[in-house]
């Protein structure tokens, strides 16, 4: 294990190498309004666990796994949270959100159950293979395929 520690890059280098992919994933998985908070939660969790990483060659998958769990946790917390009645604030012009929150496709993606939403984003936004999605979501490949399939089917129904 001590050999693995020498192979880890500095945390800042790791953060810079993975920032864009994780933020893109979270922007779609939790929405542009919540992406910053969940991004911070994911990288704080990664910072705490970073010294104990056992497979430095899989850091990209490791951080996406953390981000996936944080996205699912976010949806669970949101389901228990009261819905605000005021209009949400405008998104900054330079926000790299991949979709307009008022877009029907965006609304359809937001309506998916958390695990389906995360699986669909990994597959169709980040173009991850099913085996990797299973690893990131800590489930079997069959379950990952089922989540993508059910989520995609639901999106087609909602968009037709």
pLDDT tens digit sequence for 71-106: 999 988 876 554 444 444 444 434 444 555 567 887
Q: Is residue 141 part of a domain?
A: yes
User: What confidence tens digit (pLDDT) does each residue in 112-152 have?
Assistant: 998 999 999 999 888 999 999 999 999 999 999 999 999 99
Confidence of residue 6 (pLDDT cuts 50, 70, 90): low
pTM of this prediction? 0.73
- For residues 128 and 89, the answer to whether their CB atoms sit within 8 Å is no
Q: Is residue 94 part of a domain?
A: no
Based on the structure, what is the number of domains in the chain? 1
| CATH (domain of 73) | 1.20.140
User: In whole angstroms, what is the distance from residue 139 CA to residue 135 CA?
Assistant: 7
**Least confident span in 33-42, 45-54, 107-116:** 107-116
User: What confidence tens digit (pLDDT) does each residue in 127-138 have?
Assistant: 999 999 999 999
- Judged against a pLDDT cut of 50, whether residue 62 lies above it is answered with yes
- Judged against a pLDDT cut of 90, whether residue 10 lies above it is answered with yes
Confidence of residue 159 (pLDDT cuts 50, 70, 90): confident
Q: Is residue 90 part of a domain?
A: no
Q: Which two tokens stand for residue 76?
A: 């669970």
Domain interval for residue 36: 2-79+99-159
User: In whole angstroms, what is the distance from residue 7 CA to residue 143 CA?
Assistant: 33
């Amino acid at each position: 294990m001590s050999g693995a520690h020498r192979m880890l890059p500095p945390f800042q280098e790791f953060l810079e190498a993975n920032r864009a992919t994780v933020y893109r994933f979270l922007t779609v998985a939790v929405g542009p309004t919540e992406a910053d908070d969940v991004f911070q939660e994911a990288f704080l969790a990664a910072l705490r666990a970073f010294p104990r990483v056992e497979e430095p060659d899989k850091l990209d998958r490791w951080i996406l796994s953390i981000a996936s769990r944080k996205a699912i946790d976010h949806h669970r917390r949101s389901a228990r949270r009261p819905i605000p009645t005021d209009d949400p604030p405008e998104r900054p012009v330079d926000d790299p959100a991949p979709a307009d929150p008022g877009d029907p496709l965006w609304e359809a993606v937001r309506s998916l159950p958390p695990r389906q939403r995360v699986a669909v984003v990994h597959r169709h936004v980040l173009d991850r293979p099913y085996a990797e999605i299973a690893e990131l979501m800590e489930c079997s490949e069959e379950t990952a395929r089922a989540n993508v399939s059910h989520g995609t089917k639901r999106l087609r129904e909602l968009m037709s």
